[in-house]
Amino acid sequence: MANFEGDNTLSTAEKFYQRLNYYINAFPEGASSLYLKPVRDFQYAENALYGRVNDNHNSIILNISNNKQIQSTNDTKKDLFAVNFVVDAFEALVQDFQSAAVRGKLYPQDSYLYDIKAYSAYDSPDTMYANYISSLEEIFLNDFLSESRNKRILDFGTFLPVFFEFIKQINTSAPYTKTGFISSNFCGPTISGLTISISDLDPSDDKQKSEFLESRNFYYYTEFLKKHGFYITKQRPWEIVADIASPFMLQYANNYGMSSKEQILSSFYQRAGGSDIENLKRFALSTYNSLTLSRKFVTISKYGAKKRVCRKPVTRNFLEDKYSMYYWVDKYIDIRYAEQREPKSAGEVTSLRKEVRGLLPTKGLKYVLSIINNSFSGFANYEGSFAQKTLKRRSVVENKTLKPTY
């Protein structure tokens, strides 16, 4: 195995070389290579969205009622959870290691792959998103709100144009809605409930990866993972991910009435976005009221004279009375359109606005949000994308009609 020396202390050029060295040589492709299974590159194209989007490229979130506590953890004081059938598969994996150890098949001095324990697992997308939005609020108040913009805000009505100007600027490089956040690089794969880490090694340190890959028990690790339907994450080989299309993993899912990947995605997960407009209103209100606390007064010039204006906080009732749902839906369309990199023409967006305005009174907000997000769905796997071209080339090389996993 090649020497892997990459870490974040290196120069840009050397770090690039070392990262490439690991990417190519850690799991080299070939007929007898472990790369074929169970290793998977979860940073490549659509793979990065595994467990976070469904087959229609809509962002999804796990229904946590399907979670189960992991018993085999490195810290008994820390409760870890994952999807119920994934936990069952993991506990069976742990038992296989214990059985192999008793029979003397494992090297007992192995620091990583002898006594298998879970170090981390499911993370709440609600918590991740709340922290993310809190950071955006701080950026608005401390960086975006220049002196000229600050003077434009006298009350909540004059605050909103500045607020949406901020979101528009954010959308050039980052999402604002929870729907956009879930399918972005700002959100981790652990929200899927399909991922369990058996170590807390530093993923930026390739030397630690080398030590893990050179484990005397690594062969058994890969064999047991295949047996139970897990992938190895290529960039974090101590991180395992349930392959929900694997017949081995589906054996565990069958105990919960799930017999296919499609059934798991439709039954265990739900479409994200149902709370997007409520979140938008809540964070607009929170940001404005935070502004009234930190900068209560603003001095403006009017008719040649200076005037000191006191900004007053507003209540949720004021917001509901003053601004209709049509207003927020229109703003939401603008945000999702920007987040998805303007996937439709301006004319199509205008038609969408008219359509949802007509549907809102009779079909309700949840239905309207699904219409909007269906219109703007789609990620890397579109015609002409790098993922599509690569898939077509692989189909020719392997003489198969390959389809995207998502």
pLDDT beyond 70 at 387: no
User: Is-contact 233 26, C-beta < 8 A?
Assistant: no
- Burial label for 205, CB within 10 Å (0-12, 13-18, 19+), is middle
DSSP letters spanning 164-199: HHHHHHHTTTS--SHHHHHTSTTS-GGGGS-EEES-
User: Is-contact 241 231, C-beta < 8 A?
Assistant: yes
Query: What separation, in Å, do the N-terminal and C-terminal C-alpha atoms of the chain show?
Result: 32
pLDDT beyond 70 at 116: yes
Segment 38-65 shows an average pLDDT of 88
Say what the pTM is: 0.85
Quote the pLDDT of residue 17.
66
Segment 103-123 shows an average pLDDT of 96
Q: Give the residue from 172, 141, 157, 182 showing the smallest Cα distance to 287.
A: 141
Cα angle: 19, vertex 241, 79; to 5 degrees: 110
Number of H helices, E strands in the chain: 16, 10
Please provide the average confidence, as pLDDT, over all residues in the chain: 89
Instruction: Set out the domains of the chain in order of their start, with CATH numbers.
Output: 34-123+188-271 (3.30.1380), 130-185+274-375 (no CATH)
Segment 286-305 shows an average pLDDT of 89
36: pLDDT confidence band, cut at 50, 70 and 90?
A: very low
CA 178 to CA 370: how far, in whole Å? 14
31-36 long-range CB contacts below 8 Å, 24 or more apart?
34/222
User: Is-contact 81 193, C-beta < 8 A?
Assistant: yes
CA 375 to CA 305: how far, in whole Å? 50
Query: Over the stretch 220-265, which tens digit does the pLDDT of each residue have?
Result: 999 999 999 999 999 899 999 999 999 999 999 999 999 999 999 9
User: Is-contact 393 44, C-beta < 8 A?
Assistant: no
Q: Which residue has the tokens 């907000």?
A: 365
pLDDT beyond 50 at 56: yes
CA 365 to CA 326: how far, in whole Å? 10
Segment 370-381 shows an average pLDDT of 78
Q: Which residue has the tokens 């239905």?
A: 367
Local structure of residue 141 (DSSP, 8 states): I
Quote the pLDDT of residue 406.
43
